[in-house]
Chain A
């Protein structure tokens, strides 16, 4: 206890030196904490934003083969899928049934190509809450009404009530032409949202040559991101027992994108009727996790590189400290301090330095995260996918933080160990007669 107290007080001897060493440790901890905080929120934010864009966390899509062997997207078994979802115990906040076309919109000689989502506005009440209207209204939407993102409306030069020509293909690949009436314009929702428009599903189905009770994608928006894979597994089991379904994770999915792997498998396979694919947002965002894994490794590498540099400083400083206090070490050895206690004195000092630096680094990182989190980047920011409601957010895994602090403490102790050992091995007589 006396050794620890003495070590703690020794830190105050050369305040400037302790401040610089502790500051270097604090800087290292701050950097890795910021990276960890960013990486921690990265998956959540990207998943959250994608789940909004894709309107769900668990998806069912139907695929049938055309006579020419092309994959056609269609869901014809809504009743069976409803039963499967109920049997799987999927408790969704929202369920959406959508169709989608890719088309060229033309107005007054101008053209814009974009995806049009066919939605049931009455069922998808949450969509109305999420879309920020710039003009027009979602109430009493005409059957051929379309909701355009602001950049597309500007590009086409349309206003509310204008009628647009659309050229597209039916679900089976036949060319088709129709008209949309501009019902509303929404504020620029960012990169992906800005190339998607919304229209009534009945009219989109008509353009796609689908029956009114058919559609292309069934999505379940769960109350939270947690448990989506388990929900996907349960739903897949229930769908498989009622209908034809692809394997949940196609071979070759490990290390890549499971959805793409599944789709590659479909190209090589033949079947009759509709076969269903059950996927989750995590499957679609498998590569996002890979980015996070890279960030995790980068954080550890930065920590190690920074601390290798800091360790050199710590070792040199503790060598200087040893020479500065050489007579004091001699005195302490003379009055009965064992070698281990001398070593402990130095190591305690290093440990306090590491812990003090770590606490300071965490405090500064917390302030930085708080400050950055207050900046409003806007919903139309190019960074929107990694933002939460336009703000940068951070999430720290405290076990991981504790692990990093432990690594820092270990490295600091390792750096101080050799000077501490040299101090402990000093011959007391030599130490006492050394002039400092």
Chain B
């Protein structure tokens, strides 16, 4: 069973008295442990698809299935719980909470859910993630004291703290210089290998697309290419 399946997903936005079709019937599958790039130029529908996979936006038609479970009929509470338990998010602008320090930002999602980990175990996990992203010396610093690369590392640790099966990253390197961007992608790739977390990221950077083992290309709200690498070259 695919971890994510999109079936004839459409998304229409109202624009004044007319409507804009951002996604026009997209179908593809994502397998567990994929490191998948959703690529395409601006306005191709990358972020919209990512938002629908991430359950922060609802499709106008079609279905998004997470671990085989349809999501279109779920209420806000169930969607929020599913997001919290299954998904992690990394944003282009990092989106850290400015009044919290590095450690608190990473820990934040852990404190939102109904199920709580034992305190000691949770603390060890938070510290492990901060170490993994190389910010052990910055735990007490707030986001305004960090560089862009450091902020994105915090965002990665935050996305992983609930041990999600899927991490969604919307243009994670767009606000970073190329060297830092590569480091961030390398870090995501390492976590993908080590923790077998499925990574789905949108980008229009060709170099980053080359690192992905599954690529979905979009243009004008439609899939133009969908292929895998390193998995015997099989088409998805």
Contacts and interface: CB of A to CB of B under 8 A. Distances in A.
B111 A327 contact: no
Contact of A335 (B76, B77, B99, B112): B112
A108 to B, nearest CB: 84
B56 A432 contact: yes
A335 B51 contact: no
Contacts of B76: 339
B56 A332 contact: no
A336 B112 contact: yes
Given A10-B99, A331-B91, A336 B56 contact: no
B117 interface: no
A334 B54 contact: yes
B203 interface: no
A333 B82 CA distance: 12
A336 B80 CA distance: 5
B99 A13 contact: yes
A428 interface: yes
A1 B85 CA distance: 20
Contacts of B81: 336, 338
Q: Which of A10, A333, A336, A433 has the most CB of B within 10 A?
A: A336
Contacts of A338: 77, 80-81, 112
Contacts of A427: 57
B70 interface: no
B177 to A, nearest CB: 22
Interface string B46-76: 0100010010110000000000000000001
Interface residues of B, number: 28
A2 interface: yes
A432 B48 CA distance: 11
A336 B54 CA distance: 11
A301 interface: no
B134 interface: no
B108 A432 contact: no
A330 interface: yes
Interface residues of A, number: 25
Interface in A407-436: 427-429, 432-433
A53 B144 CA distance: 70
A308 interface: no
Nearest to B81: A336
A2 B99 contact: no
B80 A337 contact: yes
B51 A432 contact: yes
B83 A334 contact: yes
A341 interface: yes
Interface string A336-358: 11110100000000000000000
A367 interface: no
A335 B100 contact: no
B113 to A, nearest CB: 6
A333 B99 contact: no
A341 B112 contact: yes
A328 interface: yes
Contacts of B51: 429, 432
Contacts of A374: none
Contact of B95 (A2, A9, A12, A327): A327
B89 interface: yes
A429 B98 CA distance: 20
Contacts of B162: 336
B228 to A, nearest CB: 28
Contact of B100 (A9, A12, A334, A339): A9
Interface string A373-384: 000000000000
Contacts of B111: 1-2
A332 B97 contact: yes
Contacts of B112: 2, 332, 335-338, 341
Given A341-B112, A429-B51, A336 B84 contact: yes
Nearest to B82: A336
A112 interface: no
Contact of A333 (B80, B93, B108): B80
B54 A6 contact: no
A96 B224 CA distance: 109
Contact of B108 (A2, A12, A339, A433): A2
Given A335-B108, A336-B112, A433-B47, A328 B97 contact: yes
Contacts of B25: none
Contacts of A331: 89, 91, 95, 97
Given A2-B108, A336-B112, A336-B162, A12 B99 contact: yes
A9 B99 contact: yes
B109 A6 contact: no
A269 to B, nearest CB: 77
Nearest to A340: B77
A2 B99 CA distance: 12
Nearest to B57: A429
Contacts of B10: none
User: 10 tightest A-B contacts by CB?
Assistant: A336-B84, A429-B57, A9-B99, A2-B111, A331-B95, A428-B56, A336-B112, A335-B109, A429-B56, A429-B51
Interface of A: 1-2, 6, 9-10, 12-13, 327-328, 330-339, 341, 427-429, 432-433
Given A6-B99, A336-B112, 19 more contacts: A2-B112, A6-B97, A13-B99, A327-B93, A330-B95, A331-B89, A331-B95, A332-B97, A334-B56, A334-B83, A335-B88, A336-B162, A337-B80, A338-B77, A338-B80, A428-B56, A428-B57, A429-B57, A432-B56
14 contacts: A9-B99, A13-B98, A331-B95, A332-B108, A335-B84, A335-B88, A335-B109, A336-B109, A338-B80, A338-B112, A428-B56, A432-B51, A432-B91, A432-B95
